[in-house]
Amino acid sequence: MLDSALDTNNPLTIDLSTTYTTCRLHSVALATPLSEADMQIQAAQFASPGKWHLAHTSWFFDTFLLKPNDLSPTGFIGFDYLFNSYYESVGQRQAQANRGLISRPSLSEIMDYRHAVDDGIQTLLGTALTLDQINLIKLGINHEQQHQELFLTDILYHLSHNPLFPAYDAYANLNTHTEPSELEFIPFEGGLSYIGFDGSDFSYDNETPRHQHFLQPFKLANQLVTNANWINFIEDEDFNNPLLWLSDGWIAKQKENWQMPLYWHRTDLGYQTFSLKGLTALDMEAPVRHISYFEAEAYARWVGKRLPTEFEWEYALINDPSNQLKQTFNQLWQWTSSPYIGYPGFEVSEDAVGEYNGKFMNGQYVLKGSSFATALYHSRVSYRNFFYPHLRWQFCGLRLAE
Amino acid sequence: MLDSALDTNNPLTIDLSTTYTTCRLHSVALATPLSEADMQIQAAQFASPGKWHLAHTSWFFDTFLLKPNDLSPTGFIGFDYLFNSYYESVGQRQAQANRGLISRPSLSEIMDYRHAVDDGIQTLLGTALTLDQINLIKLGINHEQQHQELFLTDILYHLSHNPLFPAYDAYANLNTHTEPSELEFIPFEGGLSYIGFDGSDFSYDNETPRHQHFLQPFKLANQLVTNANWINFIEDEDFNNPLLWLSDGWIAKQKENWQMPLYWHRTDLGYQTFSLKGLTALDMEAPVRHISYFEAEAYARWVGKRLPTEFEWEYALINDPSNQLKQTFNQLWQWTSSPYIGYPGFEVSEDAVGEYNGKFMNGQYVLKGSSFATALYHSRVSYRNFFYPHLRWQFCGLRLAE
Amino acid sequence: MLDSALDTNNPLTIDLSTTYTTCRLHSVALATPLSEADMQIQAAQFASPGKWHLAHTSWFFDTFLLKPNDLSPTGFIGFDYLFNSYYESVGQRQAQANRGLISRPSLSEIMDYRHAVDDGIQTLLGTALTLDQINLIKLGINHEQQHQELFLTDILYHLSHNPLFPAYDAYANLNTHTEPSELEFIPFEGGLSYIGFDGSDFSYDNETPRHQHFLQPFKLANQLVTNANWINFIEDEDFNNPLLWLSDGWIAKQKENWQMPLYWHRTDLGYQTFSLKGLTALDMEAPVRHISYFEAEAYARWVGKRLPTEFEWEYALINDPSNQLKQTFNQLWQWTSSPYIGYPGFEVSEDAVGEYNGKFMNGQYVLKGSSFATALYHSRVSYRNFFYPHLRWQFCGLRLAE
Amino acid sequence: MLDSALDTNNPLTIDLSTTYTTCRLHSVALATPLSEADMQIQAAQFASPGKWHLAHTSWFFDTFLLKPNDLSPTGFIGFDYLFNSYYESVGQRQAQANRGLISRPSLSEIMDYRHAVDDGIQTLLGTALTLDQINLIKLGINHEQQHQELFLTDILYHLSHNPLFPAYDAYANLNTHTEPSELEFIPFEGGLSYIGFDGSDFSYDNETPRHQHFLQPFKLANQLVTNANWINFIEDEDFNNPLLWLSDGWIAKQKENWQMPLYWHRTDLGYQTFSLKGLTALDMEAPVRHISYFEAEAYARWVGKRLPTEFEWEYALINDPSNQLKQTFNQLWQWTSSPYIGYPGFEVSEDAVGEYNGKFMNGQYVLKGSSFATALYHSRVSYRNFFYPHLRWQFCGLRLAE
């Protein structure tokens, strides 16, 4: 679901084997601070256990590369069923809500599986690869990098249900703070512009076909909305005024009783927030995070602005020669007002990999940029992340337009 | 929610008073075949009782025109609360799901209220009206015309829950059948085109601002998909293949066990369908109706086509000098692949009437054209109807593109 | 579900035909103050529309007496399906939750059905009846008398959802008030006693077999708990103390947010209550009504008492020669602490009528006495009414024991 | 919730300290075959994780014995909140459904806690204990023994959600099979009898007060219903006949689609069952287990018998001098037809320990006997286990009466 560009976009990358290995080791490194029990728990259907991420990313290589080449490791009974995520074409799969109940295979057996898959891929890499195979390996690496971000997103969500507020890593770098500058709205001309991936390296199918799109003139904020901004919003009486909200947003707000961003706590010591570092005081100048599309949209209306479209965001990044736009990548994903649909001419490919993006093109919104948890070299202007408008557990914030 | 152009778009209209009266009488005429009990029932939250439609359309004139001019009729206690629909700014309102429980005021009291409101409006029409007042009356008429279609849509839904299959009117004209022609895909050039309302008469805010949109070349089917076409689909084994469906569509299909369009019954006599005429054999050449967006989208994929965007549909209607496109209006609303969002520059107006369209701009899809139940003179190319993708009780069908 | 003794227990009854006619006319009389719309609405699955009660009681005579004797009236298509309640053995039936959607057959057709059934029964009564037939007619009359009470119970519930608080009948006699006397606890000896029906006339199967039951000495309150008593309870801080409640009761209280009896409203004018007379001030000396078993049980614990068992209640009524017990019948049904199960040796009969009582013997509690809405001559000491412990829409109150 | 007699009922027990230590070690021994992940998972709200059982049983000693005597170990932050089960009077507690999310404290910290509590209790045992303290320690031991059975019940349930069918212990002794004898119904005289605990040692409050109860003559089956018997039932067409079921039972059967006992699988190899030993072929002569009250009750009706009351069961055990009743203890808990309510004169004690049994006296049924998983010396005739009639995850079966 998450998407990001491959290390292979990195000009320094020497060969696919090194890229593969680097990626695979990084997933394991992310699990270092966690116990077997931490890796097992699942607090909601939409968030998977840490252990499952380690297994599923290996299943992907196994299913789409090793099995067709008779290199699939033996002795891992039931793994094809247990660690399939949503690939209907590949066969049956474990119910998503019950992933947290799979105490066996154990974490140690999952690690054995990872190593066996790695051996298989290295064997394959030693042969003469077809272009299709190369592309599948690149896709597998990108897929795993997406799960590296999801791994952190999900672990934070799981741990947040523990009233002891345990830290994932007290020294984690969350990239939460940037020297503040004054809020400015940068003007852009628009016109008939090209949108979509134009590189020669890896991209996802949903970034294509590159096509022309007509844009009115617009302005884009030079920075993200901050926690201090957000407190003004939630402490204003209009925060609970239904006229400020989309109808579906108001229903979601009432149902889930949104009074603050996810993970915030109002305490005797003021606002605190739970993050991968544990529970800490809120940094007022840091960009607000863990807000839904509905909240972002209402905020924009409250300040008399709006969210940008994905096309404005992409166009602005390309046409910002003086680098006036700050906090574009590696901070937070940024909600846009664009429903996630296929570009003109987009077609869902017919094989299993075709299930990757196309079938989710309903009811979600595009997010642009990338977050502190996004893999290195994984950020590009054409990248289209997407989530449902009521979800808040992602590392996401907002940038205003007018 | 439904939208349609005012009779005032009709060049034959002489004055607003006649238009008003004609519209009001038509609502009452629609109720003629129904008993007080028929007018009371409510089979789902999204469908309102017939009695409620008669009251709510009067409430609209009362609230936005009579009350501000001290012309509101007295003696109708609680009507302001009971017959508000979703206007948060106007005050509290009866829970939508409980509309069917309001046995009092009686139908006869509702009719008294209608007459009292009509008297008030005629009084107002006898004074020197401001342009704002004229526009509000036009909006009220358009609003009531929308509810005339909804009245039939909802009554059909309510009656469908009765195992005796009672007809609303055995002689109703459903405009179900058109002499069939051969399916053709008409080519259009596209390019940078203007989209949106450009008339001088009435339109809804969501049809504006008129703006430029860039279109690739495309083809549009000359006619709607038929019942015969649809039977091929549902009797094909791939109908139950998840790969054919959007992920959310597959979930909806499983949850509601969609095997046929709404109101179809598989009987010993073959397929039958329940309509305003009661239960009858299916006309194979008639356009298929009562299918959700998800089903329409899957059908298009199944035949190797796609749904048109709202922009393609509008552009094609305008650029079809030889009238090759059939069944464009007054047959069935036609699903497009366009999520319902505001046009560039669209702003929600800040008064109560501003709640009319803007706050529903999430998660729905645009439908173009109009149905047999749509009010006369209410069809225009810029009209944007919208519904959630899982709903099927509207009079809607589909036209393919490629 | 409700149960009551037949008029035939009345020594003044001359013949079955008169008893039948009197009963049937009374049902129709109860509907006099109501419109067709009032008779149509259904506010919850557990409460049926007024129209349905009129039809179902006729269906009972039709199904169990006329059909087997080829006297069933013709021309009432679908009535056997629509107006079956829970008799699985008789065939399929309309979903209970959707009874309120059956606008057709109309009320007038239902009345035609009633008359046709009455004609059939009178024809049958003119023949030589078997004892089984006589007993079935008696059962049908008792069944209809139960539904007469349910009719009022349900109508009150339906109308309570109307924010205008419409009265069923502003002059209804609710028997709410009795000259207060001082609360006393009357002692009883207990010992090995006989429990269950011992008459020669009509009773329900659940009142038999008469059997011996051993009772410890106990005391029973001479009167019911009053509204004034109850206000002390709900205004006490322990009302919200979970230790006072059964575990399931606490869950129900939290889920439904019970702060007062059903139909009470806290207003600027003090407590008001909605009844068949509309909204009126609370009579402090009247017995509290519309409380669940869970609330009754918690109240008893709060005052350091308990609820009586059904055996104590029945024994006390029989052994109260000086009539110290007040408000025993025709006021309110009285919760006992006895789960509703079969008496020793009870067997469910195997025909459809056997579905009457036996299959409900799980999870409910016995209530003794009768209410102001119970049919005349319908009260007897062995009578066992029963409801689930969370339900509050019945005319029920409580009497303490210790 | 589960209840069982203390080792101290064992005449061989020398002192309380040894009994305490034996009990505590046994809990840890039960966890031996399980990983930290196995101990973490929770497949339903009603079943707790293994880790939680180890912590909660220690919390009981800590809360009711160590804290009041200033012996509570320090450094176990949040344990009082996390490992409280349902004791409202002791303070807030972790939501039951979320116990499986508490990955921290780790299993190793839980073990540290157990040892620290053990040290505290041994210190306390070295002082001059009051009678209250001795009784509380006995209660704590009985409480932990109940949780030992629940530990196995819950682990089986959790593991059953793993499609790999992992065994808890392939060599576990499930006491499933007994040399079959011929089914006989043993007659008993009944009469006025004493019911309830009359010993001088430990019992639960719900086994008292001992009181007189009048019993009709009855017969009790000499053995439990077998798997072979049950297959006859589920393969009979009447298994799906609603007339055979209690109304609530039929609803539960439909909702959960009961076609077989819990843990049974119909495979190409015939019926198989999942147990603590993993997936194995069904032993036809073994008593059927994992059936709900509703199923047991329907079975009894199907064979023309009934379930015994708890009073009949207890009376029969006492009055069976020739030991004709088989499989009475240490096989399976046996459903009775008796709703779980307090004996005459029963009062809920007012301290926290009083929450132990009394507040669950609604909607459940009494089970008699004990299962293979019940602690040694924990079986006695007055013991009253209890569960809701729709639950099936306990080790329970049935014995017929007539």
What pLDDT digit, counting tens, does each position of B84-130 carry?
Answer: 987 777 777 888 889 999 999 999 999 999 999 999 999 999 999 99
What pLDDT digit, counting tens, does each position of C254-291 carry?
Answer: 999 999 999 999 999 999 999 999 999 999 999 999 99
Nearest to D52 by CA among D98, D13, D20, D12: D98
Q: How far is CA D128 from the centre of its chain?
A: 33
* HEC string for chain D: CCCCCCHHHCCCCCCHHHHHHHHHHHHHHHCCCCCCCCCCCCCECCECCHHHHHHHHHHHHHHHHHHHHCCCCCCCCCHHHHCCCCCHHHCCCCCHHHHHHCCCCCHHHHHHHHHHHHHHHHHHHCCCCCHHHHHHHHHHHHHHHHHHHHHHHHHHHHHCCCCCCCCCCCCCCCCCCCCCCCCCEEEECCEEEEECCCCCCCCCHHHCCCEEEEECCEEEECCCCEHHHHHHHHCCHHHHCHHHCCHHHHHHHHHHCCCCCCCEEEECCEEEEEECCEEEECCCCCECCCCCHHHHHHHHHHCCCECCCHHHHHHHHHCCCCCCCCCCCCECEEEEEEECCCCCCCCCCCCHHHHCCHHHCCCCEEEEECECCCCCCCCCCCCCEEECCCCCCCCEECCCEC
Task: With H, G, I as helix, E, B as strand and everything else as coil, classify residue B351.
Answer: coil
C279 inside 8 A of chain B by CB: no
Contact list in B for residue A243 (CB cut-off 8 A) is 88-89, 350, 355, 359
Q: Are D261 and D357 in contact (CB under 8 A)?
A: no
Provide, rounded to the nearest whole percent, the portion of chain C with pLDDT above 70: 94
Residue D149 pLDDT grade (very low, low, confident, very high; cuts 50, 70, 90): very high
Position B5 scores a pLDDT of: 36
Position A355 scores a pLDDT of: 66
Residue D10 pLDDT grade (very low, low, confident, very high; cuts 50, 70, 90): very low
Judge whether residue D15 has pLDDT over 60: yes
Position D12 scores a pLDDT of: 42
Report the amino acid identity of residue A56: H
Judge whether residue A4 has pLDDT over 60: no
Mean pLDDT of D96-101: 92
Mean pLDDT of A47-76: 97
The 10 Å Cβ neighbour count of residue A270 is: 11
Q: Residue C213 belongs to what H/E stretch? A: strand C211-215
Residue D201 pLDDT grade (very low, low, confident, very high; cuts 50, 70, 90): confident
CB contact under 8 A, C246 and D301: no
Provide, rounded to the nearest whole percent, the portion of chain D with pLDDT above 70: 94
CB contact under 8 A, C35 and B36: yes
What pLDDT digit, counting tens, does each position of C16-39 carry?
Answer: 999 999 999 999 999 999 999 999
Mean pLDDT of C315-343: 96
D387 inside 8 A of chain C by CB: no
DSSP code, position C236: S
Mean pLDDT of C348-357: 70
D158 inside 8 A of chain A by CB: yes
Judge whether residue A214 has pLDDT over 50: yes
Nearest to D234 by CA among D271, D181, D269, D273: D271
Residue A357 pLDDT grade (very low, low, confident, very high; cuts 50, 70, 90): confident
From D360, which residue of chain C is nearest by alpha-carbon distance? Answer: C247
Position C355 scores a pLDDT of: 65
- Can you tell me the ipTM of this complex? 0.94
Q: Are D126 and D25 in contact (CB under 8 A)?
A: no
D27 inside 8 A of chain C by CB: no
Residue A13 pLDDT grade (very low, low, confident, very high; cuts 50, 70, 90): very low
Q: Which of the pair, D176 or D248, is modelled with greater confidence?
A: D248
Judge whether residue C13 has pLDDT over 50: no
What pLDDT digit, counting tens, does each position of C355-386 carry?
Answer: 678 899 999 999 999 999 999 888 999 999 99
Strands (E), B232-317: 264-267, 270-275, 278-281
Give the nearest partner residue to C362 out of D214, D248, D348, using CB atoms.
Answer: D248
Give the nearest partner residue to C158 out of B101, B163, B166, using CB atoms.
Answer: B101
Q: Please report the residues numbered 185 through 204 in chain C whose beta carbons come closer than 8 angstroms to any beta carbon of chain D.
A: 192
Judge whether residue D280 has pLDDT over 80: yes
Q: Do C and A touch, counting CB pairs below 8 Å (3 needed)?
A: no
B152-156, D91-95, D176-180: segment of lowest average pLDDT:
D176-180
Q: Residue B231 belongs to what H/E stretch? A: helix B227-234
d(CA C314, CA B144): 63
Give the nearest partner residue to B37 out of C40, C162, C166, using CB atoms.
Answer: C40
Q: How far is CA A119 from the centre of its chain?
A: 28
Judge whether residue D4 has pLDDT over 60: no
Gap from A100 CA to chain D (nearest CA, Å): 7
- Number of residues that this document lists for chain B: 402
B213-240 burial code (b ≥16 CB/10 A, e <16): bbbeebbbbbbbbbbebbbebbeeeebe
Position C12 scores a pLDDT of: 42
Q: Are C277 and C169 in contact (CB under 8 A)?
A: yes
Contact list in A for residue B390 (CB cut-off 8 A) is none
CB contact under 8 A, B40 and C43: no
Provide, rounded to the nearest whole percent, the portion of chain A with pLDDT above 70: 94
Residue B3 pLDDT grade (very low, low, confident, very high; cuts 50, 70, 90): very low
Question: Residue B248 corresponds to which tokens in the numbers above?
Answer: 């959310």
Residue B14 pLDDT grade (very low, low, confident, very high; cuts 50, 70, 90): low
> Which residue, among D38, D40, D45, would best test binding to A if mutated, counting the most A CBs under 10 Å from its CB?
D40
d(CA C272, CA C281): 4
Gap from A39 CA to chain D (nearest CA, Å): 8
d(CA D72, CA D63): 8
pTM: 0.94
> What's the alpha-carbon Rg for chain A, to the nearest Å?
21
Q: How many CB pairs under 8 A join A and B?
A: 66
Judge whether residue A189 has pLDDT over 70: yes
Judge whether residue D247 has pLDDT over 80: yes
Residue C188 pLDDT grade (very low, low, confident, very high; cuts 50, 70, 90): very high
Contact list in D for residue A105 (CB cut-off 8 A) is 164
What pLDDT digit, counting tens, does each position of C290-327 carry?
Answer: 999 999 999 999 999 999 999 999 999 999 999 999 99
CB contact under 8 A, C344 and D216: yes
Judge whether residue C251 has pLDDT over 60: yes
Nearest to B172 by CA among B37, B288, B34: B34
Gap from C297 CA to chain D (nearest CA, Å): 11
CB contact under 8 A, B158 and C101: yes
Q: What angle do helix axes A107-125 and A131-159 make, rounded to 10 degrees?
A: 160
Nearest to D39 by CA among D53, D29, D25, D21: D53
Judge whether residue B357 has pLDDT over 90: no
Position D354 scores a pLDDT of: 65
Q: Do B and D touch, counting CB pairs below 8 Å (3 needed)?
A: no
What pLDDT digit, counting tens, does each position of A158-179 carry?
Answer: 999 999 999 999 988 887 767 7
CB contact under 8 A, B41 and C101: yes
Strands (E), B124-217: 185-188, 191-195, 211-215
User: CA of B397: how far to CAs of A342, B184, B279, B287, D56, in Å?
Assistant: 22, 17, 19, 7, 60
Query: How confident is the prediction for chain C on average, in pLDDT?
Result: 92
CB contact under 8 A, D245 and C359: yes
> Which residue, among C39, C101, C279, would best test binding to B if mutated, counting the most B CBs under 10 Å from its CB?
C101
What pLDDT digit, counting tens, does each position of B55-71 carry?
Answer: 999 999 999 999 999 99
Contact list in D for residue C359 (CB cut-off 8 A) is 243, 245-247, 250
A332-346, B7-21, B86-100, D295-309: segment of lowest average pLDDT:
B7-21
Contact list in B for residue A341 (CB cut-off 8 A) is 337, 339
Mean pLDDT of B165-184: 85
Q: What angle do helix axes D107-125 and D16-30 make, rounded to 10 degrees?
A: 170
Report the amino acid identity of residue A157: Y
Query: How confident is the prediction for chain A on average, in pLDDT?
Result: 92
Provide, rounded to the nearest whole percent, the portion of chain C with pLDDT above 90: 85
What pLDDT digit, counting tens, does each position of C86-129 carry?
Answer: 777 777 788 888 999 999 999 999 999 999 999 999 999 999 99
Peptide bond preceding D105: is omega within 30 degrees of 0, i.e. cis? yes
Quickly tell me which residue has 């299918």 as its tokens.
B291
Query: How confident is the prediction for chain D on average, in pLDDT?
Result: 92
Task: With H, G, I as helix, E, B as strand and everything else as coil, classify residue A60.
Answer: helix
A94 inside 8 A of chain D by CB: yes
Query: How confident is the prediction for chain B on average, in pLDDT?
Result: 92
Quickly tell me which residue has 């699942």 as its tokens.
A42
Position D300 scores a pLDDT of: 98
Judge whether residue C4 has pLDDT over 50: no
Position D376 scores a pLDDT of: 81
